Amino acid sequence: MAEDGIGEVAEALTGLVGDVGRFQRRIEERMEQQEERIRMNTKHARPPLDSAAAAAGAPHAEAMGSYLRSGDDDGLRSLSLEGKAMNTAVSADGGYLVDPQTAETVSTVLRSAASIRSVASVVNVEATSYDVLVDHADIGAGWATETAAAGETASPQFDRISIPLHELAAMPKASQRLLDDAAFDVETWLARRIADKFARAEAQAFVAGDGSDKPRGFLTYTAVDDASWTWGNLGTVPSGAAADFSETDPAAALVDLVYALGARYRANATFVMNSKTAGAVRKMKDADGRFLWSDSLAAGQPAQLMGYPVLISEDMPDIAAGALAIAFGDFRAGYTIAERPDLRVLRDPFSAKPHVLFYATKRVGGDVTDFAAIKLLRIAAS
């Protein structure tokens, strides 16, 4: 009997040990699952550049992030990427085309920047230049009779305007320790730094660039009195005073500027001026005491001057003697921006140790394509 009791106790202890083992294994499995969830949450803690990147571009973002952080290009080489922003490895240049999510972030900031880009004609090209054919002379015509021979009439004239693409570059840097930090969103940081640099450089060039290794700005062309305007120059209207607007009727110059532009351009015309000039213009009133300037009634819409939208471009000159302080025209017809759609990034961990340099380049050009579509206000008495 005693032996039977000992056997039962031993059997009970064996079962208890088995239960404890199963319970321990279950706890270990739960801990492993919890650790896996924590690891995955940490891995994806950094927000993507946009929701589309999270849904459709995760492999691209991971590969690009790995390249920017450590220089590991295995992911870039193994991915067969679609779209123009990252479809070719540039091994000869030591870099790669930026992934679609980063490139779209840069492009979005550029479009939203206060520059001529927002009102000009923008085209994407794959070549090194973009040619525009402009017909600026009318075809002749005359009345004919039933029996008389028809005479020859004037033929149209074409101008070929070539817009070369120039390289725009930015080279921000970050320490390797910062790149190693998983909490640092390197993609968004890089996109914002590049976008800010490119936006400011482009905006200045589209207004006052000399055309040497950069786009040519519309203010660099010869400005002549509108009464003697010819193709290849930009027509001007005087402000009515040597260094300011006329004291007696300052609004008259703006009226003259609007109607110096041809009727077919006025429908899509925009005023362009800097903030200081806008501050002076918005105080002007017409003969009935009404302000010429009207603020937008809808969020995101530009203010209007005499019924036309106003673009505030800080690269326009201040009001001063001889300055071309205000532009008015149909910039979609008058100014063309040509650019390649890709953005290239070269990672350089050697030149500025312990920092890592990111050399980003983009190719863009711009030029006036219709000299009749833009008129300028010159600060002058006559």
Provide the pLDDT for residue 316: 96
Dump pLDDT digits (tens) for 2-54: 555 566 656 665 666 566 667 667 767 767 766 666 555 544 444 443 444 44
Chain centre to alpha carbon of residue 58: 24
Provide the pLDDT for residue 216: 96
Provide the pLDDT for residue 11: 65
If we measure between CA atoms, which residue out of 80, 46, 83 comes closest to residue 63?
80
Q: Would you give per-residue pLDDT tens digits along the chain (382 residues)? A: 555 556 665 666 566 656 666 766 776 776 776 666 655 554 444 444 344 444 445 566 666 666 666 666 666 555 544 333 333 344 444 455 566 666 767 777 777 667 899 999 999 998 889 998 887 766 667 677 777 777 776 666 677 889 999 999 888 888 877 777 756 677 777 778 888 888 899 999 999 999 999 999 999 999 999 999 999 999 999 999 999 999 889 999 999 999 999 999 999 999 999 999 999 999 998 888 889 998 877 777 888 999 999 999 999 999 999 999 999 999 999 999 999 887 888 888 888 888 888 888 899 999 999 999 999 999 999 8
Residue whose pair of structure tokens reads 């088995």 in the numeric block? 18
29 exposure class (CB count in 10 Å sphere: 0-12, 13-18, 19+): exposed
Residue 333 backbone zone (phi > 0: left; psi -120 to 50: alpha; other: beta): alpha
Distance CA 278, CA 22 (A): 78
Provide the pLDDT for residue 272: 97
Contact predicate 272/313, CB 8 Å: yes
Provide the pLDDT for residue 344: 83
Provide the pLDDT for residue 149: 73
Give, as one character, the DSSP assignment of residue 241.
S
Chain centre to alpha carbon of residue 357: 22
Provide the pLDDT for residue 106: 72
Biggest CA-to-CA distance, the chain:
143
Provide the pLDDT for residue 81: 40
Provide the pLDDT for residue 341: 81
Q: What sign for the dihedral angle of Cα 201, 188, 301, 123?
A: positive
Provide the pLDDT for residue 96: 52
Query: What is the residue-wise DSSP string for 58-85?
Result: HHHHHHHHHHHHH---HHHHH----SGG
Provide the pLDDT for residue 100: 65
* 3 state SS of 185: coil
Query: What is the residue-wise DSSP string for 272-312?
Result: EE-HHHHHHHTT-B-TTS-BSEE--SSTTPPPEETTEEEEE
Provide the pLDDT for residue 53: 42
If we measure between CA atoms, which residue out of 366, 346, 364 comes closest to residue 356?
346
Q: Spell out the domains of the chain, with CATH numbers in brackets.
A: 55-135+158-213+339-368 (3.30.2400), 218-335+369-378 (3.30.2320)
